[in-house]
Amino acid sequence: MDTATKEIGHVEMLATMIARLLEGAPATMTAEAVRTG
């Protein structure tokens, strides 16, 4: 259970980082990132 909680935290950190990197990006770039992700 402890390992699963840590892994969920890591996924959340990665998702936040990607969202911040895409902030202000053109809509086409954002759509491409979502489609290939």
State CA 28 to chain mean position distance: 17
Known binding residue 2? Answer is: yes
Known binding residue 23? Answer is: no
Q: Measure the CA–CA gap between 27 and 29, rounded to whole angstroms.
A: 5
Contacts of 18 (CB under 8 A, 6+ apart): 33, 37
Known binding residue 32? Answer is: no
Q: Which residues are annotated as a binding site?
A: 2, 7, 10
Q: Which residues are annotated as a binding site for Mn(2+)?
A: 7, 10
Q: Which residues are annotated as a binding site for Ca(2+)?
A: 2
